Structure 1
């Protein structure tokens, strides 16, 4: 909004020229989202506690320690992230950019699904919320709408193309199969982050790391000079998503202040589904869907551990891991929660650096 209001005045007042710079607005979005989270955090947590007398329902089949350490902690803290991210993006982004609205649709839409899931868990006082199939239907519907909007904006030959990392000229044309592929990326990323969200601070830091990486990717992809130099596909207008990524990082930092061990609040599905969906949608716009699997490799590992566990048990009756997702396996092995969280953060940083290396190694 500030860009649309103030950038046109730059010719009359030079100070307003700052709003033409993506880097300035990205920094502004980051700090605004952080400020909103700090200001709203305490009152929102008090409100959540007043509405959730018993806190988030804890899985009875989960690690035994959670019944003691996590009991009474309120959930739906993802509202704090959603408010900070949405308000900051609307304030600092170019609202005439269709990519901003497409990603916001996925972010807020998936967040609404997560909110409904969290609300049912609380009102029913058990760890089961919305039926899995119903959540999936809603996610697919929102993802399809966003994908069609993105595809109608991206110019040929990128419209239905999938770029391959490490290869500068490879663009796989999927035709209309691109729509289910893009929806799979958004829904898969959303649920992968959801599976990772099981320990204090475990999910939000890798999400911020991925958000920071995609802020850079969006900026470079949207800049013709840098895109040509790096030999990545130029997507005009994609740079505006750097502002949204900055807001994501700022809101995530603010949430982490309250989610740091021992957590005062959990993000719940409200936060995890929305953040994963946002990363998936941004990767679709910037044509870095496959790079997301590298940068977000930690989320992939967590998801694969669940798939392997379920498949092994159904086929052989035996479990590969002591418990899935993967972080629970290490809890069962006796690792302390801070140890697991910090080591997983390190893995996320390493994978992010590998993902960023694909921008140059071609």
Structure 2
């Protein structure tokens, strides 16, 4: 919204900084952080008042959760989404179509997660929105986003898949690009959702991934840097760095209240939205495979659930003591801070490996 002030740079020279994505990304980060810090206590108080018993805790989960997490309000993702939205509307170029596509998925997935959280809180059950219907709506939103991305991007990138490490290779997926992109977006949303099980476990890896993809979006959207690194230039995607900056700021503000012992949980409201956002940015920047590397922690969490369910249905035996895998380590006796910090370390290492793909071509 504020980018229009750059038109007056001829009269007020300082307004010229609004033309720079790097400046607006930094300001988006600061704005989102201050917004969440300022309004966070009021939002948490409102959630606690309206939810009463807070998020229901699974009886078959780690025993410690029944004591330490009972009564904690959920839907804290509203804080993140509010900060992200306000900051993005202020600092992003709203004439950029990619910005609106990412916001569509983020808010759409956030609405699905909100309804899921609402059902869980009102029914005091960990069973929320029907999985079949939820995935169907997510897939519809993701497909619409992918159709829009295909329309925005110029050929030959429109329906193509770029491969890391190979500078000149583009695989034309045709109409299957819509299906593939939707799978990436829905998969990312639900993988982050499964990771959100301990205080601070999901939000920090999300911020690490957002920082990584903010950097990738900036490079991919800059013709000079893209040519130097021999990566595919996707005009307009640089503006997505501003949204990533807003997410980092909002995430830091949320972490202030989510640090152990958490005053509020992100809930599906936040985890679905943020995962969907990362997936959409990956599809827009043509770095879907790199997302699997950078977000490898989320892939691990989702894979552990798939393996556990498949093993139990096929053999009647469980591979892990409990899934997702962070609960497995809890059952092994790891403390919550040990699991969270070690998973953060893994997320940092994977992000560095993901960034290395930019040069190894």
Same fold, judged at TM 0.5 (above): yes
Question: How do residues 92-241 of structure 1 correspond to structure 2 at under 5 angstroms?
Answer: 92-241=91-240
Cα shift at 1:191: 0.0
Per the alignment, residue 75 of structure 1 pairs with 74
Partner of 1:324: 323
1:79 positional shift = 0.1
Q: What CA distance in whole angstroms lies between the structure 2 residues aligned with 1:241 and 1:42?
A: 29
Residue of structure 1 in register with 2:2 after alignment = 2
Match of 1:253 in 2: 252
For 1:62 and 1:8, the matched residues in 2 are separated by 57
Matches within 5 A, 1:298-309: 298-309=297-308
1:273: which partner in 2?
272
Three-state SS of the structure 1 residue aligned to 2:63 is coil
Query: Which string of whole-angstrom CA distances, capped at 9 and with x for unpartnered residues, describes residues 207-254 of structure 1?
Result: 000000011000000000000000000000000000000000000000
Counterpart Cα distance in 2 of 1:206 and 1:345: 6
Distance 2:342 2:307 in 1: 22
Distance (whole Å) between structure 1 residues aligned to residue 12 and residue 70 of structure 2? 55
Task: Tell me the alpha carbon deviations over residues 104-155 of structure 1, each in whole angstroms, 9 at most, x when there is no partner.
Answer: 0000000000000000111111111100011111101111111111110000
1:165-194 per-position Cα deviation (integer Å, ceiling 9, x unaligned): 111111111000000000000000000000
RMSD: 0.5
SS in 1 for 2:161: strand
Q: Which deviates the most, 335-344 or 6-15?
A: 6-15
Counterparts of 1:315 and 1:130 in 2: how far apart (Å)?
A: 26
Q: TM-score, normalised by structure 1?
A: 0.99
TM-score normalised by L of structure 2: 0.99
What is the alpha-carbon distance in structure 2 between the residues aligned to residue 285 and residue 60 of structure 1?
A: 41
Query: How much does 1:8 deviate?
Result: 1.0
**CA shift at 1:60, angstroms?**
1.3
Correspondence for 1:243: 242
Shift of 1:64: 1.1
How many aligned positions are there?
A: 361
Give the structure 1 partner of residue 311 of structure 2. Answer: 312
Q: Which residue of 2 aligns with 1:11?
A: 10
1:45 positional shift: 0.4
Aligned to 2:175, what secondary structure does the other structure show? helix
- Structure 1: gaps of 5 or more residues: none
Q: Give 3-state SS (helix, strand or coil) of 1:65's partner.
A: helix
CA distance in 2, matches of 1:118, 1:55: 10
For 1:17-36, what aligned pairs fall within 5 Å after superposition? Answer: 17-36=16-35
Classify the secondary structure of the residue corresponding to 1:166.
coil
Aligned-partner SS, 1:175: coil
For 1:142 and 1:40, the matched residues in 2 are separated by: 29
DSSP 3-state at the match of 1:172: strand
d(CA) in 2 for partners of 1:173 and 1:271? Answer: 33
Whole-angstrom distance in 1 between the partners of 2:123 and 2:322:
25
